[in-house]
């Protein structure tokens, strides 16, 4: 079976008006997740499902759960699942942490959106994440970054916290020239649950 290499172009996804984790950030977040071919992964606040789709491609023997509360997002995730021909991606409409009740113990939790419930979601993830599992979050606002760092730093039962900011700039053709187009800065926070 051929290994999936992260970095599907943004154009590979049906988009709509729902936020999407862009290719450059998605690749780095996926690398932080340490997904294996049989991993169980949950994507909370999945948006268009770009992270969940690539996680499912990377874990063909595993299972991925995409949780999204907005009906339009749920429809987009299903369309992107179909576009990639994935059978190991389950879409759950609901809001975390309540929707986490439908998810089995997992190896990776990715939080792309929290709907203002980050503390409660992290508590739910503590119960959900297997020992040795990875927790990866993205933050696009200063407030979310501050809250995520505050909640994750020194979190009982987790190893060293890693956090970094990504500012990607794409080259865009404009007539005979090329312009630089900056994407929004995103922070990626990752930590690992300690082995029991």
Residue 90 half-sphere exposure, CB side, CA atoms within 13 Å? Answer: 14
* Both structure tokens of 168: 């990607």
Ordered by where they begin, the domains of the chain are 19-192 (3.40.50.150)
pLDDT reported for residue 48: 95
The pLDDT confidence band at residue 26, using thresholds 50, 70 and 90, is very high
Q: φ, ψ for residue 18 (rounded to 5)?
A: -95, 140
The pLDDT confidence band at residue 32, using thresholds 50, 70 and 90, is very high
Check whether 1 has a pLDDT greater than 80.
Answer: no
What CA–CA distance (Å, rounded) separates 132 from 103? 18
Look at 38 and 160; give whichever has higher pLDDT.
Answer: 38
User: Can you tell me the mean pLDDT for 12-39?
Assistant: 94
pLDDT tens digits for 132-179?
999 999 999 999 999 999 999 878 899 879 999 999 888 988 889 999
User: Can you tell me the mean pLDDT for 108-116?
Assistant: 92
pLDDT reported for residue 168: 87
Check whether 61 has a pLDDT greater than 70.
Answer: yes
For the ranges 14-23, 67-76, 181-190, the maximum mean pLDDT occurs at 67-76
Check whether 31 has a pLDDT greater than 90.
Answer: yes
What CA–CA distance (Å, rounded) separates 105 from 80? 25
Task: Give pTM, 2 decimals.
Answer: 0.93
Other Cβ atoms closer than 10 A to 36 = 14
Query: Do strands 106-111 and 89-93 pair parallel, antiparallel, or not at all (unpaired)?
Result: unpaired
| For the chain, percent of residues with pLDDT exceeding 90 | 81
* Both structure tokens of 155: 């979190």
């Amino acid at each position: 079976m051929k290994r999936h290499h992260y970095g599907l172009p943004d154009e590979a996804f049906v988009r709509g008006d729902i936020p999407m984790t862009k290719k450059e950030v998605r690749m780095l977040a996926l690398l932080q997740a340490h997904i294996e071919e049989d991993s169980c992964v949950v994507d909370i606040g999945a948006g268009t499902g770009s992270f969940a789709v690539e996680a499912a491609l990377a874990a063909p023997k595993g299972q991925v759960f995409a949780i999204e509360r907005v009906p339009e997002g749920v429809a987009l995730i299903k369309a992107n699942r179909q576009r990639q021909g994935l059978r190991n991606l389950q879409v759950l409409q609901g809001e975390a942490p309540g929707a986490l009740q439908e998810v089995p113990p997992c190896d990776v939790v990715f939080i792309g959106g929290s709907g203002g419930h980050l503390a409660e979601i992290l508590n739910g993830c503590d119960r959900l994440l297997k020992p040795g599992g990875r927790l990866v979050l993205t933050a696009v606002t200063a407030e979310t970054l501050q809250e995520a760092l505050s909640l994750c730093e020194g979190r009982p039962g987790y190893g060293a916290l890693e956090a970094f900011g990504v500012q990607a700039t794409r080259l865009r053709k404009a007539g005979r020239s090329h312009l630089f187009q900056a994407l929004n800065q995103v922070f990626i926070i990752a930590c690992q649950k300690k082995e029991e």
